[in-house]
Amino acid sequence: MEKLIITIAPTGSIPTKKNNPNVPIKPDEIIQTGILCEKAGASIIHIHARNPADETASTDFQIFKEIYQGLSRETNLIIQISTGGRAGMEYEKRSERLSLKPEMASLTTGSVNFTSSVYANSPDLIRALAKDMKTYGIKPEIEVFDVSMIQNALDLADQDLVSQPLHFNFVMGLKGAIPATIENLVHLKNSIPRTATWTVAGIGANQLKMCTHAIVMGGHVRVGLEDCIYFCKRELASNEQLVKRIGQVSNIIGREIATPDEAREILGLIYKK
């Protein structure tokens, strides 16, 4: 079976140090986490920025730049910048960071009702972000919160706004998104093109379970404190601990872990360094 790509999502927009002191907030902490997670077996890092003063999600270009440059210098990880809108929904703010030309960026191809807010991604905004990624030579990770978002991504491919082979991340078990069941995962996997690659991000206690399904099914995995702050019941995790554990699960099952360069090959990335 193809080697396993482990993505680390260390920070996200929500958890704070009060929730878990291991959440890296400042650029330097995120860079240090990247170094540790690469050693533990990660090949992709999914990046968000925070305001150092109050830990809230940030759209500040300079913060993204500092994180991006530090990780490029200190690691061989594939850097995937989030274009998620929790920090601010406007297109200009979400697009600006793409000018850093990371190898990957996230692209959510639909809207979601979160618990008390709407994560709004209009068709125009999705097309504009996809177009920017194409211009900068960035491979999108298509964030799928529901089955319809796959069809929206295939429509973008038909319009030549994203290039095949596509890469999907199935976000499962978040309130408002598709429930984290193996039946749903099988359906999602069967709904994408055969040439596409895929990753699963299970939210909360679903992380380990859904990642284990993905390892067996030939998909890839995303772990990290963005999606779950616990290692097990009542025990807080660190990012590198979550990477290490999922690597061990994969090894036990008999599937090897991809290095960043092997992940580049699997994803068809143009090597930029």
Q: Least Å distance between CB 96 and Zn ion?
A: 17
Q: Least Å distance between CB 224 and Zn ion?
A: 9
| Residue with the shortest CB distance to Zn ion | 82
> Rounded distance, CA 266 to CA 273, Å?
17
Record the tokens describing residue 75, joined without a space. 């690691």
> Rounded distance, CA 250 to CA 230, Å?
20
Place of tokens 């211009």: 135
Q: Least Å distance between CB 2 and Zn ion?
A: 24
Contacting Zn ion within 81-120 (CB under 5 A): 82
How many residues bind to Zn ion according to rule CB under 5 A?
1
Longest dimension (CA), the chain: 47
Tell the burial category of 138 from Cβ atoms under 10 Å away from its Cβ (0-12, 13-18, 19+).
buried
The region of 69-77, 80-88, 123-131, 203-211 touching Zn ion under the rule CB under 5 A is 80-88
The region of 77-85, 122-130, 208-216, 217-225 touching Zn ion under the rule CB under 5 A is 77-85
Is residue 169 a contact point for Zn ion (CB under 5 A)?
no
Q: Least Å distance between CB 190 and Zn ion?
A: 25
Amino acid sitting at position 21 = P
Nearer to Zn ion, 33 or 82 (CB): 82
Angle between helices 148-158 and 123-136 (to 10 degrees): 50
Is residue 239 a contact point for Zn ion (CB under 5 A)?
no
Report the SS3 class of residue 1. coil
What residues line the site for Zn ion (CB under 5 A)? 82
